[in-house]
């Protein structure tokens, strides 16, 4: 520091001048050492005033103030030779005592020297004991003992001060370097002051007081200036970091610290040597010995106090440790490097039923399940190799044998404490995780199980599907099952009944499957089956499933029926599991389009048809507005006179990209999207408009239109028919409403009522495709119809009589219809033989390609004109 370096240089120059005799030696010593002492004292006192924390750094403390007071005492003592008072040796000795006290207290209070009077008093007694012992030993040396008596107090004070400063510096942490500089400076100052007091003693010649110049005063001055410089530099450091919040106890070793044995050893050796040589002790020696023993005794009393204090703390900590270990839910084991168990916690018997005799002395791996030993040994070897030294403790999961010879799921953390002298072992904390593992397995099962049926859920199905696909050969089939009718059961009988039906479905599925097959519920009314069977066996399984699930479900207080649609897809047919599931679902949708209780395989055509179906469903909604619908008309011809009696209006959808869509594809789509009534209304209106424009000249020429059951059963249908007839001026008897026979069974009483309402208007009704249903004859007497249109299968049968010379089927049907007063129309006539056969059976009219192809209104009008001409 510049503030100390410049004055030091000036002081050195003054001392050199005094040594050379340019100025009096006493004056040079007083000016150099005294002046520099004042500078050092000012620096230290100024540093001592900053006793608070500033900007995150720990600055000088009160210790610098006492060191500064020691520097001030040094400066004053250095001036004693200049004014040469009576008893200069006494004044110098007193200055030495004050400086020694200030330096001793100051070094004890420097940063890092610890806190508390007990700590400082122990260090002070350490230094005092060492100083007294050294002084005692030195006094017993004959040359020193024969010296002037005035040197005895100087030696005692200097030795004591130097010893206290030395102990304080050696024990001071964590700021060792500044403390060493400050302590070293204090020791040099005390040595210089002791030399000054000795040189002032008249009994030794009064070296300083009796001379003007000389080297001795300069050497003393150099010691003082150098010491003051070091004390000022080390004691005023302001750039020291903050000490740790809980510093380590610097007196942790107590009586074992070497400085406690040094004083006693020095004093005893000196006393024994003196006793051998001199054989007696003078009163001063005895006083020295008593003082040394007293100081050591006081230090030992402090040590005993600390020992009792720390012993109490250890007992408390041990009690806390025992209570924690005894009540812990973990088992603690201590292992040596050979992995033998040296100690186990009391929880061993309480938690695992293991006594000390069963465990202590045995290898840790002897308690581990043989299947888990390899993994545990690998982890322990890694710990012994130091791989987990800087990270978290190693974790070992293994099964351990308990006192009942049962294997328990455990989780152990292994901590390497071999570097701790008090432990010097591996510490293992064992935790029983059996309950956690049980919960994990239960949660895992719940996450892969449908809670209602107990079958696998979608997540489990996809997992097993992935496993199946990874097997060699990849043979297997996925079935997707859709239930129909469950929504009606929930609405009519409640969701409890619906849940009971789902549970019964799951039970029936299990009875049909093998051990390797996986039944699953995908959600709602969708199920799936993953089977290892190939194509043939899988199709047979799907057929059995459809048959069994369609059987009536006997429930408490109810009997319900379900229908199914089942789609199949081969596991090898998809790129991944999601694609296989999508293929099976597409096949299921195709099966539903084709009807109930159907089973369909996936192939690319299925997906193409489904995409076509979805496109048609989307675009049909606006077909009427876009004028894409059209009507064609097929003539109905009298078989007796070959004259047209009427026409049937047939719907066509002229799709701009897919071409003409026929009714067998169009009408199911219309019913699915809910616009069948709108189409029927458009067909009726458009057909009547064309009929009114034809000039047939025959009021008996009629027009037939097909009507869906939903439109027929609406209350406003007869009114709409009457309105349309009035709009185009058409006689009611010229309109024939056709109802398909397979629709009759849906609601016979309602259809009878609707047809009766049409008959009151004068509109005639026809039963279309008669002969295709199973209950046709039972409904024929109840239905108010005027015409039967025979299914094509009747006209295509062989004309030979039935076995037993009975009449053919068409003859029976025609005879029955004629008895009921119905007009008979034979459909599907495609050859002259069929026309002749229908005429022989008694059919009045015929319809088919052999009599006339469907055509647009303009062609039919020309057709009618040609027959009329």
CATH code for the domain in which residue 409 is found? 3.30.450.20
**Rounded Cα distance, 206 and 213, in Å:** 13
Q: Which pLDDT belongs to residue 713?
A: 77
Residue 576 is encoded by which pair of tokens?
A: 């991944």
User: Which residue reads 């996936």 in tokens?
Assistant: 602
Assigned domain for 265 exists: no
The percent of residues in the chain predicted with pLDDT above 90, rounded, is: 10
Q: Which pLDDT belongs to residue 14?
A: 80
539 confidence band (pLDDT: 50, 70, 90): very high
417 and 456 inside one domain: no
424 and 461 inside one domain: no
Q: What does the pLDDT average to over 241-259?
A: 46
Assigned domain for 307 exists: no
Q: Which pLDDT belongs to residue 210?
A: 46
Q: Which pLDDT belongs to residue 208?
A: 52
CB atoms within 10 A of CB 417: 13
Residues 6+ apart with CB under 8 A from 78: 29, 30, 32, 33, 34, 37, 196, 221, 224
Helix (H, G, I), strand (E, B) or coil at 486: helix
Q: Which pLDDT belongs to residue 673?
A: 80
802 confidence band (pLDDT: 50, 70, 90): very low
CA distances from 858 to 521, 632, 634, 683, 852 (A): 57, 10, 12, 17, 14
Per-residue pLDDT of 401-422, as tens digits, reads 888 888 888 888 888 887 777 6
Of 66-70, 75-79, 264-268, 854-858, least confident by mean pLDDT is 264-268
347 and 410 inside one domain: yes
Per-residue pLDDT of 634-660, as tens digits, reads 999 998 888 898 999 999 988 888 888
Q: Which pLDDT belongs to residue 496?
A: 87
Assigned domain for 45 exists: yes
- End of a domain among 408, 439, 470? 439
Helices (H), 206-349: 215-235, 258-277, 283-327, 347
Mean pLDDT of the chain: 79
Per-residue pLDDT of 702-713, as tens digits, reads 999 988 777 777
Vertex 360 angle, CA 356 and 364, to 5°: 125
List own/partner pairs for 789-792 with CB under 8 A and 24 or more apart.
789/738, 789/825, 789/827, 789/847, 790/814, 790/824, 790/825, 790/826, 790/827, 790/843, 791/741, 791/827, 791/828, 792/827, 792/828, 792/848
Between 204 and 834, the higher pLDDT residue: 834
Assigned domain for 290 exists: no
Per-residue pLDDT of 327-367, as tens digits, reads 666 788 888 878 888 888 877 777 788 888 888 888 888 88
8 Å CB contact between 183 and 166: yes
75 and 30 inside one domain: yes
Q: Which pLDDT belongs to residue 565?
A: 93
Q: What does the pLDDT average to over 653-675?
A: 83
Q: Which pLDDT belongs to residue 530?
A: 92
At residue 543, does pLDDT exceed 90?
yes
- End of a domain among 192, 216, 243? 243
At residue 529, does pLDDT exceed 90?
yes
> Domain limits at 486?
451-602
Q: What does the pLDDT average to over 90-102?
A: 83
Assigned domain for 284 exists: no
8 Å CB contact between 520 and 454: no
Q: Which pLDDT belongs to residue 774?
A: 53
511 and 639 inside one domain: no
Work out whether strand 598-601 and strand 563-570 pair parallel, antiparallel, or are unpaired: parallel
Between 1 and 397, the higher pLDDT residue: 397
Of 89-103, 267-281, 353-367, least confident by mean pLDDT is 267-281
Q: What is the DSSP string of 42-57?
A: HHHHHHHH--SEETTE
8 Å CB contact between 487 and 524: no
- End of a domain among 383, 410, 439? 439
Assigned domain for 679 exists: yes
Assigned domain for 607 exists: no
CA distances from 543 to 476, 519, 564, 568, 633 (A): 17, 16, 10, 11, 42
Q: What does the pLDDT average to over 846-862?
A: 89
Q: What does the pLDDT average to over 739-763?
A: 78
Q: Which pLDDT belongs to residue 540?
A: 92
34 and 85 inside one domain: yes
526 confidence band (pLDDT: 50, 70, 90): very high
**Rounded Cα distance, 307 and 761, in Å:** 123
**Rounded Cα distance, 537 and 799, in Å:** 42
696 and 755 inside one domain: yes
Residues 6+ apart with CB under 8 A from 261: none
At residue 279, does pLDDT exceed 70?
no
CA distances from 209 to 29, 34, 35, 142, 305 (A): 12, 17, 20, 28, 50
253 confidence band (pLDDT: 50, 70, 90): very low
Q: Which pLDDT belongs to residue 250?
A: 43
816 confidence band (pLDDT: 50, 70, 90): confident
Vertex 68 angle, CA 189 and 263, to 5°: 50
Write the CATH number for 769.
3.20.20.450
Between 538 and 310, the higher pLDDT residue: 538
CA-nearest of 594, 603, 536 to 565 is 594
Please give the model's pTM, rounded to 2 decimal places.
0.48
583 and 657 inside one domain: no
At residue 247, does pLDDT exceed 50?
no
Asked if residue 828 has a cis previous peptide bond (ω within 30° of 0), the answer is no
At residue 473, does pLDDT exceed 70?
no
Structural domain total, the chain: 4
Between 681 and 555, the higher pLDDT residue: 681
735 and 837 inside one domain: yes
Q: Which pLDDT belongs to residue 211?
A: 44
The percent of residues in the chain predicted with pLDDT above 70, rounded, is: 81
List own/partner pairs for 623-631 with CB under 8 A and 24 or more apart.
623/653, 624/678, 624/679, 624/682, 628/653, 628/654, 628/655, 628/656, 629/653, 629/654, 629/679, 629/682, 630/654, 630/856, 631/683, 631/686, 631/687, 631/690, 631/856, 631/857
524 and 402 inside one domain: no
**Rounded Cα distance, 398 and 371, in Å:** 9
CA-nearest of 661, 814, 823, 609 to 736 is 823
**Rounded Cα distance, 869 and 865, in Å:** 6
Q: What does the pLDDT average to over 260-266?
A: 64
Q: What does the pLDDT average to over 599-624?
A: 81
424 and 573 inside one domain: no
At residue 700, does pLDDT exceed 70?
yes
Of 161-170, 487-496, 544-553, least confident by mean pLDDT is 161-170
764 and 640 inside one domain: yes
Helix (H, G, I), strand (E, B) or coil at 853: coil
Strands lying side by side in the sheet with 518-523: 518-523, 526-531, 477-484, 563-570, 598-601
Between 298 and 81, the higher pLDDT residue: 81
Of 458-472, 584-598, 619-633, 644-658, least confident by mean pLDDT is 458-472
Helix (H, G, I), strand (E, B) or coil at 478: strand
Per-residue pLDDT of 430-467, as tens digits, reads 888 777 778 877 777 778 888 888 898 898 888 888 88
Assigned domain for 553 exists: yes
């Amino acid at each position: 520091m510049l503030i100390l370096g410049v004055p030091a240089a000036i002081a050195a120059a003054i001392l050199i001048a005094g040594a050379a005799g340019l100025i009096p030696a006493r004056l040079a010593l007083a000016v150099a050492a005294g002046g520099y002492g004042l500078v050092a004292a000012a620096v230290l006192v100024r540093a001592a005033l900053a006793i608070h924390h500033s900007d995150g750094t720990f600055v000088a403390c009160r210790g610098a103030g006492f060191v500064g007071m020691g520097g001030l005492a040094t400066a004053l003592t250095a001036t004693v030779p200049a004014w040469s008072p009576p008893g200069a040796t006494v004044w110098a000795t007193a200055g030495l005592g004050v400086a020694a006290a200030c330096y001793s207290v100051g070094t004890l209070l420097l940063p890092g020297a610890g806190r508390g009077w007990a700590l400082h008093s122990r260090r002070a007694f350490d230094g005092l004991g060492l100083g007294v012992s050294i002084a005692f030993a030195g006094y017993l040396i004959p040359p020193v003992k024969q010296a002037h008596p005035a040197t005895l107090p100087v030696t005692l004070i200097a030795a004591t001060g130097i010893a206290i400063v030395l102990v304080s510096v050696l024990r001071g942490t964590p700021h060792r370097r500044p403390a060493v500089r400050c302590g070293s400076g204090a020791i040099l100052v005390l040595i210089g002051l002791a030399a000054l007091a000795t040189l002032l003693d008249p009994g030794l010649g009064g070296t300083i007081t009796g001379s003007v110049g000389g080297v001795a005063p300069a050497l003393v001055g150099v010691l003082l200036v150098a010491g003051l410089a070091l004390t000022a530099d080390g004691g005023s450091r302001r750039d020291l970091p903050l000490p740790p919040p809980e510093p380590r106890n610097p007196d942790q070793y107590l009586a074992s610290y070497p400085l406690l044995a040094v004083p006693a050893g020095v004093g005893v050796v000196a006393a024994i040597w003196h006793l051998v040589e001199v054989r007696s002790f003078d009163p001063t020696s005895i006083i020295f010995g008593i003082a040394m023993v007293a100081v050591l005794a006081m230090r030992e009393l402090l040590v005993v106090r600390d020992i009792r204090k720390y012993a109490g703390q250890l007992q408390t900590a041990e009690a806390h440790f025992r209570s924690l270990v005894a009540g812990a839910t973990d088992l603690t084991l201590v292992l040596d490097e050979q992995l033998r168990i040296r100690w186990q916690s009391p929880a061993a018997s309480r938690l695992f039923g293991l006594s000390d005799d069963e465990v202590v002395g045995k290898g840790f791996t002897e308690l581990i399940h043989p299947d888990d030993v390899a993994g545990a040994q690998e982890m322990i070897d890694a710990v012994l190799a130091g791989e987990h030294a800087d990270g978290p403790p190693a974790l070992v999961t293994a099964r351990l044998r308990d006192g009942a010879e049962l294997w328990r799921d455990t989780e152990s953390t292994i901590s390497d404490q071999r570097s701790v002298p008090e432990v010097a072992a591996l510490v293992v904390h064992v935790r029983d995780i059996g309950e956690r593992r049980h919960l994990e397995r239960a949660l895992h099962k719940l996450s892969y199980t449908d809670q209602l049926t107990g079958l696998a859920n979608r997540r489990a199905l996809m997992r097993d599907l992935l496993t199946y696909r990874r097997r060699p050969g990849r043979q297997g089939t996925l079935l997707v099952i859709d239930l129909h009718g469950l929504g009606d059961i929930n609405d009519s009988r409640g969701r409890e009944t619906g849940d009971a039906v789902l549970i019964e479905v799951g039970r029936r599925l299990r009875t049909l499957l093998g051990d390797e097959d996986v039944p699953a519920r995908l959600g709602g009314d969708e199920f799936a089956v993953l089977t290892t069977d190939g194509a043939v066996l899988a199709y047979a399984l799907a057929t059995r499933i459809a048959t069994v699930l369609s059987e009536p479900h006997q429930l408490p207080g109810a009997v319900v029926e379900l229908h199914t649609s089942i789609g199949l897809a081969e596991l090898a047919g998809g790129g991944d599991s999601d694609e296989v599931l999508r293929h099976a679902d597409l096949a299921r949708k195709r099966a539903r389009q084709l009807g109930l209780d159907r089973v369909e395989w996936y192939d690319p055509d299925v997906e193409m048809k489904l995409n076509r179906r979805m496109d048609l469903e989307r675009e049909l909604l606006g077909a009427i507005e876009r004028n894409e619908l059209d009507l064609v008309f097929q003539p109905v011809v009298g078989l007796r006179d070959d004259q047209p009696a009427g026409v049937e209006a047939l719907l066509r959808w002229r799709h701009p990209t897919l071409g003409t869509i026929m009714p067998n594809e169009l009408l199911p789509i219309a019913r699915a999207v809910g616009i069948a009534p709108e189409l029927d209304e458009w067909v009726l209106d458009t057909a009547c408009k064309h009929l009114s424009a034809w000039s047939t000249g025959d009021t008996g020429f009629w027009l037939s239109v097909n009507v869906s059951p939903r439109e027929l059963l609406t209350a406003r249908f007869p009114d709409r028919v009457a309105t349309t007839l009035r709009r185009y001026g058409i006689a009611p008897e010229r309109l024939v409403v056709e109802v398909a026979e397979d629709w009759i069974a849906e609601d016979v009483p309602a259809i009878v009522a609707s047809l009766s309402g049409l008959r009151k208007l004068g509109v005639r009704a026809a039963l279309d495709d008669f002969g295709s249903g199973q209950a046709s004859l039972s409904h024929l007497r109840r239905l108010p119809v005027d015409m039967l249109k025979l299914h094509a299968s009747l006209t295509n049968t062989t004309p030979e009589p039935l076995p037993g010379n009975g009449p053919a089927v068409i003859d029976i049907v025609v005879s029955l219809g004629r008895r009921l007063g119905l007009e008979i129309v034979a459909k599907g006539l495609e050859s002259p033989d069929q026309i002749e056969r229908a005429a022989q059976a008694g059919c009045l009219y015929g319809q088919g390609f052999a009599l006339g192809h469907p055509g647009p209104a303009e062609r039919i009008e020309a057709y009618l004109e040609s027959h009329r001409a």
